[in-house]
A and B are shown apart, each in its own frame.
Chain A
Amino acid sequence: MGGRRRVLVLFAHPALETSRVNRVLIRGLEGIDGVTVHDLYEEYPDFDIDVATEQQLLLEHDVIVLHHPFYWYSTPALIKQWEDLVLTHGWAYGSGGDALHGKWMMSAITTGGGKSAYQPGGHNRFTVSQLLRPIEQTARLCGMDYLSPFVVYGTLDMHAEAIRAHAVSYRRRIETVRDGALDPLSSHQQLGPESAVDDVMKG
């Protein structure tokens, strides 16, 4: 692959004013060329999603990033509402539903639980990638390629410095994706689901 891709970050945090981690991550994306940040809770406080506008936005981008805190092993409710209303039959999937074919989809997630908890023997019994299967399959059904997720673990007691480091690596990841330097087919080998963050933190 190669060439620049236009990236749409669909961001959802219902209480951004109380956020510690996501607010820094999202601010880190400010001013990147070719990246559109779309703050869903700010746009649709009453869940009244404008389907036409959303579909138009999807058409105008090549990579869709679902960025949100992990809530009950899933997305905040508005992302679910977005999926239900925007990915319509005959447009995003089903017969004639090829609007999203060939685009990429990626999750960017922060979890309260630490990385060790998201393992077969751990507290949460499944890895984040496993828990994100519904999204992965949604992407596939719509003919999109699915990238490995960007995950920030253990947010609950995270220091400001670590948060900033994660924001840097998030920005780098988004730029990498935009520049087409990441091949979805090989991304699972290149980066584990936990992303390159740990390197940043340890290095």
Chain B
Amino acid sequence: MHGQGFFFQAFVYLGAAVVAVPIAKRLGLGSVLGYLLAGMAIGPFGLGLIGAEGKDVMHFAEFGVVMMLFLIGLELRPSLLWRMRGPIVGLGGLQLGVTAALLTALSMAAGYTWNTALAIGMILALSSTAIVLQTLAEKGLVNSDGGQSAFSVLLFQDIAVIPMLAILPLLALGPEAGSQLGEQADHSSSWVDGLPAWGQTLAVLGAVAGIFVGGRYLMRPVFRFIARTRQSEIFTAAALLLVIGIALLMAQVGLSPALGTFLAGVVLADSEYRHELEADVAPFKALLLGVFFIAVGASVDFGLILSDPARVVALVGALIVIKFAVLVALGRFYGMSFDQNLLFAFSLAQGGEFAFVLFSFAAQQGVIDSETTQTLVAAVAVSMAATPVLMLLNDKLLQPRFGTREQREREPDAMEESKPVIIAGFGRVGGIVGRLLRANGIGTTVLEFDSDHVDLLRNLGLEVYYGDASRLDLLRSAGADKAEVILVAIDDHARALSLIETIQKHFPHLTILARARGRVEAYELLEAGVPHVYRETFETSLQMGVAALRALGVRAHHAHRAAQKFRRHDEVSLRELAALRHDRGQYLSAAREHIRFLEETMQQDLTRPDDFKDLGWDAESLRREADSG
């Protein structure tokens, strides 16, 4: 059944996802559980649509985790990361250390030698970044106290994987172990293999420094150059290239790719391309993670489990209980509120995807025998699959009863900051509006499609992001959910209309202020249901009309009033004519349209002559009445 090529596999994976995830979400189970169940369904123990190649797929799809960390990095400004250093090292270090020690002790009690037990303890102490962060994000809990703590721990674990890879071969104890150290590289041979220890260290430091320097100084001009082509798929390609490149580099120097891309993300978090990168990479990450979860689901070895169910259940139970207990204790120690502590503990009480890699590596090194690793891998997979269920229980049963439940929207210090106004298009019009708002202390997020412009504005210290504002994902990352007003002033009218449609559909709470270049655009915007339409040439023309009147000797206030009254008259006529526009039902060339506007508007000017007079100040009728009386 399998092996019918890429398209068949893709069809099976995507089909499973498309069927299972909406159902799971409908039932309130969350997407992660949906993917896992889909994987079990199509896996060797379900329909058997995917078989052993599931492992390769999982390897490939692990890249979703790498992308996820890149995205997380993008949301974490370096200053914020620095502020989190305490919990990362403290909480993360304690979690890993205490859990590993307990699990090691337990393994020794179960009869393993100390070195095997230590390997098992370390590996099982890790949790699943992918499942935890995805589930937290879906529940909107990433920024909660418990969510942030969980994130800190996961980050520490990701870093800890590197020394673990170095330690595992040393635990093999045999004489050949030392010699194997050189070829430990788990995935492929790397550049640094031949180097002495100090050389390897140097290579690692060099790679990290390269990410910092490159991210700061090299990537921005490169992105700018690419952005200037206005070819959005090339920008996407560049974003993927960056992530993949860093992952490769990291693998070469023996660092975790996830960690490397995370650092790259943090470095780029300050850049103007942050939102665009986020929007570009996010769909790939989401899909890959989905495939990854499916593969995890498919890899749950039901054969092994069923051969000795009690053993596996006991293992999973012990694993979850021990991890949970350590996490609860740490949460208390760090003074978390009860509900946040529960969230924190439930979210991290499982084995992680790194365990798959590390177990096979350990088996290969002869630290743990292969039968044990198979059983443990099965246990880890089950514990991962159990996580969304546990979090669901916490959500539905425990929290309502015991939780004080922190408000979901904890304000800005966390991962994103929101501004009340979004300006799409910071050109001639948007620029002036933006300045006026800024001068009055109002925060704006600017989206601009012209990369030269972006650069200039950023040099002036404005918060400007590069990107096509009509994209839903970009709008979202620019904070459209929380903003109050959006100014549509992008040059491309068709794009402006599609932007407006997106806003009306997904962010109906936003007040839309739209710029129109002329009457046609104004008509179209009115038709699109935007009440606040501003014709960019209109006010200036009125000013010039006032100047002309004054040059002819008309008194200043009279000229001023004339313009005011004309403006009001014209706004009314604009709306009336917009309504009539389609009655004619014929297409006219732009020039003909212009002439027709003139005709129509001039006729309208004649229909209500009183529109242009200030009757209240006109004493003429008074005088007449006095004469006659």
Contact = CB atoms under 8 A, between A and B. Distances in A.
B568 interface: yes
A26 interface: no
B622 interface: yes
Interface string B607-627: 000000011110001100100
Interface string B395-409: 000000000000000
A48 B562 CA distance: 10
Contacts of A87: 616
B622 A89 contact: yes
B625 A50 contact: no
A51 B568 contact: no
A46 B615 CA distance: 18
A86 interface: yes
Interface in A43-72: 46, 48, 50-51
A95 interface: yes
A90 B610 CA distance: 15
A89 B621 contact: yes
Interface string A80-104: 0000111111100011000000000
Contacts of B189: none
Given A89-B622, A94-B622, A46 B564 contact: yes
A126 to B, nearest CB: 28
Contacts, number: 28
Contacts of A46: 564
Contact of A94 (B565, B567, B614, B625): B625
Contact of B568 (A48, A86, A89): A48
Q: Give the size range of A's interface with the partner.
A: 10 to 19
Contacts of A50: 568
A84 B617 contact: yes
B45 to A, nearest CB: 65
A51 B568 CA distance: 11
Contacts of B615: 51, 85, 88-89
A89 B625 CA distance: 10
Interface of A is mostly: loop
B568 to A, nearest CB: 7
A43 to B, nearest CB: 12
B622 A84 contact: no
B533 to A, nearest CB: 19
Nearest to B564: A48
A84 B564 contact: no
Nearest to A90: B621
A88 B621 CA distance: 10
Q: Which one of A85, A89, A90 has the greatest number of beta carbons of chain B within 10 Å?
A: A89
B447 to A, nearest CB: 29
Interface in A33-49: 46, 48
B617 A94 contact: no
Contacts of B561: 48
Interface string B587-629: 0000000000000000000000000001111000110010000
A17 B211 CA distance: 51
B617 to A, nearest CB: 6
B568 A85 contact: no
Contacts of A88: 615-616
A56 to B, nearest CB: 14
B567 to A, nearest CB: 8
B186 to A, nearest CB: 65
A117 B403 CA distance: 61
Interface string B546-590: 000000000000000100110110000000000000000000000
A51 B616 contact: yes
Nearest to B629: A95
Contacts of B614: 85
B616 A95 contact: no
B617 A85 contact: yes
A86 B625 contact: no
Contact of B616 (A48, A86, A94): A86
B136 to A, nearest CB: 41
B545 to A, nearest CB: 15
Contacts of B616: 51, 84-88
Contacts of B565: 48
Interface in A97-119: none
Contacts of B617: 84-85
Contacts of B625: 89, 94-95
B413 to A, nearest CB: 29
Interface string B499-511: 0000000000000
B620 to A, nearest CB: 9
B154 to A, nearest CB: 47
Contacts of A95: 625
23 contacts: A46-B564, A48-B561, A48-B564, A48-B565, A48-B567, A48-B568, A51-B615, A51-B616, A84-B616, A84-B617, A85-B614, A85-B615, A85-B616, A86-B616, A87-B616, A88-B615, A88-B616, A89-B615, A89-B621, A89-B625, A90-B621, A94-B625, A95-B625
Given A85-B617, A95-B625, 4 more contacts: A48-B567, A88-B616, A89-B621, A89-B622
Interface of B: 561, 564-565, 567-568, 614-617, 621-622, 625
Q: Which 7 A-B pairs have the closest CB atoms?
A: A85-B616, A48-B564, A89-B621, A88-B616, A88-B615, A84-B616, A89-B622
